[in-house]
């Protein structure tokens, strides 16, 4: 491909924005200009891209002139503020926040799941929640083969999903615990070191958290099936990077574990690691820094004749956020 594109990154100095920059370089995205944008506090900082220093610009209403694609990860309020200006400049915004995910006018896209939806955009495409991405990359091949009717999912979410402060707190609490000192608790409502918190995001009136309801609503939207039954329990665990998920599904047509394993082994974006006898199964340590979603512990659910159980893990900063955003951009330019 000879054509090159002018790309902006909103929130370029943040955790996800930094990974976006790395992935654009790793995947050799065809760029003629990379324009890192951030708040006034970060303006003037230098970032390295392809061996060159690039200065961070303060994000303003006119910051998007001349750009083709804008990758956004600066918070929902910022995305809402600047989205009209991105579109007015003639660029396409791929938003990694939750601001537009359930807007019926905005496609919500995972390239391995519903790539065709990306081309229905009106200047704005939403990137799903990280837990939903990790789950649906694994479930889409099974859904295509046998139609999933019901999903029960429990997540085991890394602290990096809460940001740098949470990662530092886990490290600090671990050192304090080892030294026999009191543990400082700030990033979460309770100690996270040597503990698990069945509480990710804000509790809703129905008893589920907002994170759990994201998995319900986003799954239905991307699979175009409002009748799909989904129940989620999202849990924060003392792991630095990569989310893991336990999945139980009920399908319309029966799939054996071997059939499921074969389907998953041939699907894009997936890596099957499923040999319990050899103690091989997906773990956060192995998936950190990877773009694939790892799947294993594939077995028939003994509680339901059309049930399957499986275990997945994926790096939520990469495939769960930055990589998926860049892949959507790759989809768009594939038509150029």
Res 1: pLDDT: 43
- Could you say which of 85, 121, 143, 243 is catalytic? 243
DSSP state at residue 116: G
Res 15: pLDDT: 86
The b-or-e profile of 104-123 (16+ CB within 10 A means b, else e) is: eebbbbbbbbbeebbeebeb
Is the distance from CB of 155 to CB of 232 less than 8 angstroms?
yes
Burial class of 278 by CB neighbour count within 10 A (0 to 12, 13 to 18, 19+): exposed
DSSP state at residue 229: E
> pTM for the full model?
0.95
Q: In angstroms, rounded to a whole number, what is the distance separating the alpha carbons of residues 99 and 78?
A: 9
243 a catalytic residue: yes
Res 197: pLDDT: 98
Res 2: pLDDT: 62
Q: In angstroms, rounded to a whole number, what is the distance separating the alpha carbons of residues 291 and 315?
A: 7
- Could you say which of 85, 121, 130, 234 is catalytic? 130
234 a catalytic residue: no
DSSP state at residue 176: H
Q: For residue range 263-313, what is the model confidence (pLDDT) as tens digits? A: 999 999 999 999 999 999 999 999 999 999 999 999 999 999 999 999 999
Q: Which residues, given as ranges, of the chain have pLDDT below 50?
A: 1
Give the Å distances, CA to CA, from 267 to 61, 112, 145, 151.
Answer: 41, 8, 12, 20
H helix runs in the chain, sequence order: 15-26, 76-88, 130-146, 164-178, 210-223, 257-265, 284-287, 323-333
Structure tokens at 54: 């690039």
Is the distance from CB of 12 to CB of 37 less than 8 angstroms?
yes
- The total number of residues shown for the chain amounts to 336
Domains and CATH numbers, the chain: 5-128+321-333 (3.40.50.720), 132-316 (3.30.360.10)
């Amino acid at each position: 491909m000879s054509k090159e594109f002018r790309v902006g990154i909103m929130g370029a100095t943040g955790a996800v924005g930094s990974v976006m920059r790395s992935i654009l370089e790793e995947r050799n995205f065809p760029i003629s200009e990379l324009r890192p944008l951030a708040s006034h506090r970060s303006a003037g900082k230098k970032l390295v891209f392809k061996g060159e220093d690039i200065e961070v610009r303060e994000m303003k209403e006119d910051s998007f002139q001349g750009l083709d694609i804008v990758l956004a990860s600066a918070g929902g309020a910022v995305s809402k503020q600047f989205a009209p200006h991105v579109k007015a400049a003639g660029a396409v915004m791929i938003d990694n926040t939750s601001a537009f995910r359930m807007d019926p006018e905005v496609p919500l896209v995972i390239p391995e799941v519903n790539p065709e939806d990306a081309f229905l955009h009106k200047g704005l495409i939403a990137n799903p929640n990280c837990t939903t991405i990790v789950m649906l990359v694994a479930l889409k091949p099974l859904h295509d083969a046998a139609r999933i009717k019901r999903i029960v999912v429990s997540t085991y979410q890394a602290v990096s999903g809460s940001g740098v402060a949470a990662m530092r707190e886990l490290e600090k609490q671990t050192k304090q615990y080892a030294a026999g000192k009191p543990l400082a608790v700030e990033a979460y409502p309770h100690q996270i070191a040597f503990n698990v918190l069945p509480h990710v995001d804000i509790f809703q009136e129905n008893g589920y958290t907002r994170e759990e309801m994201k998995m319900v609503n986003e799954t239905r939207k991307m699979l175009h099936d409002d009748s799909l039954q989904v129940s989620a329990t999202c849990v924060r665990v003392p792991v630095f990077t990569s989310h893991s998920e336990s999945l139980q599904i009920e399908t319309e047509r029966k799939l054996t574990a071997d059939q499921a394993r074969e389907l998953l082994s041939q699907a894009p974006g997936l890596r099957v690691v499923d040999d319990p006898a050899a103690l091989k199964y997906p773990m956060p340590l192995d998936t950190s820094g990877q773009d694939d979603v790892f799947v294993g512990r594939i077995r028939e659910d003994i509680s339901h004749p059309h049930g399957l159980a499986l275990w997945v893990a994926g790096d939520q900063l990469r495939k769960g956020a930055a990589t998926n955003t860049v892949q959507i951009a790759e989809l768009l330019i594939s038509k150029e």
